[in-house]
Amino acid sequence: MTHEREREREREQPWKSNSMATPPRKQQVSLRGASAKEITRDALLEKVCHERELRNYTRRAAAAALFIQKVWRRYHTTKKVARQLQEEWEMSMTQYDDLMTSGWVSSNVLRPFLFFVTCSSTLHQKLQITTIKCMLTCFKTILQSINSTGIAVKNLIEFIATGKSGLYSSVRRYIMNSNGPLRRKSDVLTDDHFLITASAITLALRPFHVADLNINDVGLSDVKDAAEQYCTFLLTVPWLSQCVPAVLLPAFKHASVLSPCLLTLLISKERIFVEMSKLDQSKFCSSCPNLIPSSGWALANIINLATEYDNGSGDSGRFVQGLDCRVYVHSVITISENLLCWLENCGCPRNEENDEYIGNDESSIETADPDILEKTASLGSLKVSYIEAFKPVYQQWHLMKLLAMAKKDFSMPEADTSAANPSFEYCGKLELIDIAFFYSCMLRIFSSFNPMGGSMPTLNMLSFTPGFLVELWRVLEGSFLCQEDHVGNDDKLCKNGISGSHNDIVMEKKQGRVAKDAGNKWTSVLQKITGKSCNDVDYVQSTNSPLGPSLDDGDACDSWDVEPLRRGSQGISKEISCLLHLFCATYAHLLLVLDDIEFYEKQVPFMLEQQRRIASVLNTLVYNGFSHNNGHHNKPLMDAAVRCLHLLYERDCRHRFSPPSLWIAPARKGRPPIAAAARAHEAVTANLRSADALTSPSMGSVITTTPHVFPFEERVQMFREFIKLDKVSRRMAGEVAGPGPGSIEIVVRRDHIVEDGFKQLNFLGSRLKSWINVSFVSECGLPEAGLDYGGLSKEFLTDISRTAFDPGYGLFSQTSTSERCLIPNTAARLVENGMQMIEFLGRVVGKALYEGILLDYSFSLVFVQKLLGRYSFLDELSTLDPELYRNLMYVKHYEGDVRELSLDFTVTEELLGQRVVTELKSGGKNMAVTNENKLQYVHAIADYKLNRQILPLANAFYRGLIDLISPSWLSLFNASEFNQLLSGGKHDFDVDDLRSNTRYTGGYSEGSRTIKLFWEVITGFEPKERCMLLKFVTSCSRAPLLGFKHLQPTFTIHKVACDVPLWAMIGGQDVDRLPSASTCYNTLKLPTYKRPSTLRNKLLYAISSNAGFELS
């Protein structure tokens, strides 16, 4: 009993005393009485579920075993039946000799074949040899049956032509999957692969072989559907001509297939383009639909299918036989417009997700993800490969054959059947406007896919095609004259590019008289470009003066303002717009290689009078395009016109061929006030929306794009207005704008003026705009007495520039021309702080421009071109190194073999006593100059001297200059005008203007006897002597551009009283003292001379002695 109580106590106590102990066990359940093992309810339920699952698994296993047994039984039965059916099929195919009907082909050929072929592909992992043989037999039988005639065959072909058959989409998927562009070079077509491809292509092209496309024929109306399916699914296959086996390519190129498709494309273009856009969005599109859409591939494929050419030669090629070139040209134009619309809506094709890694930023490239770089490279490679697919377009034979066809007289149908048959709209004569439209679209496409150089091969070809540019301009000129003069009889000339006018006959006769002994090969090439002979050049020179009879006609402004272009690009038709775009792009490209001898003396490709008309047309178009705020209405045209206009204007600035009135003619009547124009220009430059920019939103763009339409004097006023606005804004910002507390003070030793100025001012940067006080220290180290004329004195600027720009100092050198212009010394890069010193001199020049202080120096035009952000070309080398320019012209026009000159693509120069050889291109030391590459050599040398060599130095000077002068301010001027802005006007001045703006001090007045003698004497001076006087007083030999009213400080004549003994005066003796000057005050200290001869002699002596203050 005791033990039982203890056990009961143990069962009760633990779970009461320890809260963490396990609860008491649940109640036990016995299934078989007290003797059975006791289990919980949960264990019982788990055991029951397990037994139930086991029974279900056993039942499913039995069913699966039964199913597998049935499958294997069916497999063996199917295999046996398929083998037996294949044997019977092979026997029937070899023994059947009767006529093939559609029922027999369907029941006895296709259905059994599809059954055992499907079974064979299921039973075997690889095709068996017997199966391949059966495929060959089946496809041969089907092709033979299709070639037969009959209603059944016709119904089958009509069904194939419809979209319900799905044949063309299936053929597209098959070609793209089995002949992709990444495998087209490595795969070797096996017999079965080739047979399937041939059969598929035959089925797809069979509807075109039934009959020629005739929409009015009810029996063949569905063939039009086949052409639409063909255009949608097959012409859009990427690199179709490379994916298709070469032996099958002629089937695609055949005129019976290509011509109906092109004509259908023109008639049903809206529906076809909709289907192409759906194709781009489907899963069966090209590999990169976001980069090149289906219409882009269709364009490339059409050009390749329509042409036959040799990849190794650009001179041989032809269109496929029987092709209607007018339909071909219009088809290309139609697809090109659709592609250009896609490019405009989607933007230029590029890697949109990772644009930040595409560019010239080396740091971004280094940190870019390798996957991104690889993707970018692949996309770039795709674009390059795509442009190469257009190779026939930039081969000369392509254009020459189109031009030859345009000159043929194709007869047009007399009856107007265009309403009954739309295809007649695209029949008839091929015109020059069609060809221009074609190539204009091509240039725009190439530029979109590769802005840097995609259009370069095409422009090279167009530029050197005989007579092409001349013909384009003749049509353009006739069109504008027709609109301007309203001559009804010339409408046909304006519309038609190739006419049979008297001028054409004369031109053809002149082309036939090309001199056999032309001066050299290059001249012959240029004569071919223009279609003119040597006799033509002589005729031009005899009938047209270099500047023309109307060069200086003051009333010629209206004649240079072309009325049809006064609304900009919106005032011309779409056809003329494309014609003008092609002309501008091609001529701008040609202007890059034309030298001055060819342009001015030989007058190729145009006479100078024609050049003036071209300039007037482009000038009117560009100015009115931007002034009417439609500069972006036709951006490709406006970009090409602006580029061509700038090249002509820069050439005119260097060597004048047109009157000044030509360039200002469009804006002669509608120019805004100077202040308003300056504020509008600043608003556009800074992307602000000021009140002036809102009232005249396009004026800023006009000034930025065509500043030359404003006279030079007005642009100088704008420049001063810019500075005035800048000073106002600085004062509002709290900067020191005058003398007093807060201004910067420096101390400069006269014998170390450049070094001291560099150390104390270079770090200031844009703060040089502020007021700066200068104190000079003599050679003895003592401060000089006297006052500086406010801030950074004129004397300091003139002295530091005189020292630093001296060739003996080593930073700048002089050109070998007669002007002796300044240009940075290339050896300055190797001198300690050389680049920093040049940058500092840029700030000095900027300060002089900012304060309106004239410096009596002129920079080389080539150097100034770099400061203005402009590229220099071959002819500008004559202003830098005339001897080198003459040598290059000798090489360019060399008649014999250039190899005799032993030249290579290197340039040798001497730097600090050492000879340095620089390669003009990679491997230039081992590349000899030949007749074929001599033009490249000439331009490579010019590019090195004019751009590559001087660019680092120009960039350093530019960085200092723009600290004070905004680049947008400098853009108003050309290179020669920049020099005038810096050093003043012409080498003479208006005496009356100086007299009216002269201040008198010390007792002088305008009525003083000596003053009257002074004006009388300098009026009789030679221009050179007057300039010497001006330099004697102001340190600059030129007058301010806007007159002496803007000279700071004002020109002053100060009286120097001289006591002369009475006996000397009675004896006729005059004052012996010489005149002196204080240049920092622009003051002439003039003694009281009594006789004009004495004043003249003393004044000439003083200004010739090159001394000033020390004469006092």
Q: Catalytic residues, which ones?
A: 1080
d(CA 35, CA 108): 81
Nearest to 614 by CA among 593, 569, 592, 583: 583
And the tokens for 309? 């050419």
- The answer to whether 641 and 622 are in contact (CB under 8 A) is yes
1078: helix, strand or coil:
strand
d(CA 629, CA 1007): 56
d(CA 889, CA 893): 6
Nearest to 534 by CA among 559, 517, 553, 552: 517
> How far, CA to CA in Å, does 934 sit from each of 23, 111, 150, 917, 1031?
106, 70, 67, 19, 48
**How far from chain centre, in Å, is Cα 747?**
50
Residues 6 or more apart whose CB falls under 8 angstroms from that of 618 comprise: 584, 641, 644, 645, 648
What does R_g of the chain's alpha carbons equal in angstroms? 44
Q: Is the dihedral of CA 149, 153, 158, 162 positive or negative?
A: negative
φ, ψ of residue 528 in degrees (nearest 5) = -70, -35
116: helix, strand or coil:
helix
968: helix, strand or coil:
helix
- The answer to whether 721 and 674 are in contact (CB under 8 A) is yes
d(CA 233, CA 276): 8
> How far, CA to CA in Å, does 887 sit from each of 430, 598, 882?
46, 16, 9
First to last CA, the chain: 148
Nearest-10 crossing angle of helices 432-449, 635-654: 90
> How far, CA to CA in Å, does 130 sit from each of 2, 133, 471, 979, 1105?
98, 5, 66, 89, 113
Nearest-10 crossing angle of helices 635-654, 608-627: 130
- The answer to whether 890 and 520 are in contact (CB under 8 A) is no
And the tokens for 208? 């075109």
And the tokens for 112? 């059994």
d(CA 366, CA 350): 20
d(CA 669, CA 223): 62
78: helix, strand or coil:
helix
Return the DSSP state at 25. P
Residues 6 or more apart whose CB falls under 8 angstroms from that of 326 comprise: 426, 427, 428, 429, 430, 434
d(CA 356, CA 374): 14
And the tokens for 11? 């069962």
- The helices-and-strands tally (H runs, E runs) of the chain is 49, 12
Cis peptide before 1087 (omega within 30 of 0): no
Other CB atoms within 10 Å distance of the CB of residue 908: 8
- The answer to whether 467 and 474 are in contact (CB under 8 A) is no
Other CB atoms within 10 Å distance of the CB of residue 989: 22
